[in-house]
């Protein structure tokens, strides 16, 4: 997305300025606001409706997870990426539940940060790979998830299985010899049938249903 508007929320001045400096190296990303806590982040998103917000998790008086849940209500089109120092499966799981489209650790490289932002702005999700594997490996099989998965066609199940391994739309299209546009339509139908907001939540349901064996993670 060209000329994307970004808000940065972090309770450390140096962290905010450092992130802003990195984003300034991109011609297509523009920082339109900075927040020192979750309350300011909500206010800025409500007023500015940015394309994306980078949210720290541990902030007071309102943390990033609580702020993300509110931002989903006041600015539903704003994509949320958690940028944190906490290498925590519990935080990752909570971030997915509140609707975050990304979860990155603060030791991420400049290139990976910019690449993740571009991926999320393009409508896809991106989460720290090591944490994602740990979270998916910890998920137990749930009969309720199996029932939901039964709503899908064979082709939709096949595509959902690819989502659990982190494949992009283009990658899935190449593997299945169909167009990326067709993959996008299938994914939209999958999300609707499963009653989830994004491909990561769909992947979690797939693991819970046993669609992918844990040894494949």
Cα–Cα distance between 149 and 207 in angstroms, integer? 10
Kindly report the CATH class assigned to 141-216: alpha beta
Omega before 61 cis (within 30°)?
A: yes
- What is the value of pTM for the model shown? 0.73
Percentages (nearest 5) of helix, strand, coil residues in the chain: 55, 15, 35
Tens-digit pLDDT profile for residues 65-114:
999 999 999 999 999 999 999 888 889 888 988 889 889 999 999 999 99
| DSSP letter for each residue of 52-78 | EEEE-SS-SSS-HHHHHHHHHHH-TTS
Task: Please report, rounded to a whole number, the percentage of residues in the chain having pLDDT higher than 90.
Answer: 56
Domains 4-134 and 141-216 share a fold: yes
Q: Are 194 and 151 in contact (CB under 8 A)?
A: yes
Cα–Cα distance between 45 and 166 in angstroms, integer? 29
For the chain, domain boundaries: 4-134, 141-216
Cα–Cα distance between 213 and 217 in angstroms, integer? 7
Task: Please report, rounded to a whole number, the percentage of residues in the chain having pLDDT higher than 70.
Answer: 89
Tens-digit pLDDT profile for residues 126-152:
887 777 777 766 666 556 666 788 889
CATH (residue range 4-134) = 3.40.50.2300
């Amino acid at each position: 997305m060209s000329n994307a508007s970004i808000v940065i929320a972090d309770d450390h001045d140096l962290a905010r300025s450092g992130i802003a400096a990195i984003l300034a190296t991109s011609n297509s990303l523009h920082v339109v606001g900075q927040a020192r806590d979750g309350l300011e982040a909500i206010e800025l998103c409500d007023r500015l409706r940015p394309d994306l917000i980078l949210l720290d998790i541990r902030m007071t008086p309102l943390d990033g997870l609580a702020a993300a849940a509110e931002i989903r209500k006041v600015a539903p089109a704003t994509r949320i990426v958690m940028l944190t120092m906490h290498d925590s499966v519990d935080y990752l799981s909570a971030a997915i539940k509140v609707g975050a489209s990304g979860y990155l650790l603060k030791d991420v490289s400049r290139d990976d940060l910019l690449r993740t932002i571009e991926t999320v702005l393009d409508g896809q999700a991106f989460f720290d790979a090591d944490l994602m594997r740990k979270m998916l490996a910890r998920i137990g099989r749930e009969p309720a998830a199996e029932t939901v998965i039964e709503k899908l066609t064979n082709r939709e199940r096949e595509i959902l299985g690819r989502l659990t391994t982190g494949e992009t739309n283009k990658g899935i299209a190449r593997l299945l010899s169909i167009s990326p546009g067709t993959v996008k339509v299938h994914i939209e139908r999958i999300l609707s049938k499963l009653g989830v907001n994004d491909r990561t939540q769909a992947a979690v349901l797939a693991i819970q249903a046993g669609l992918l064996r844990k040894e494949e993670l």
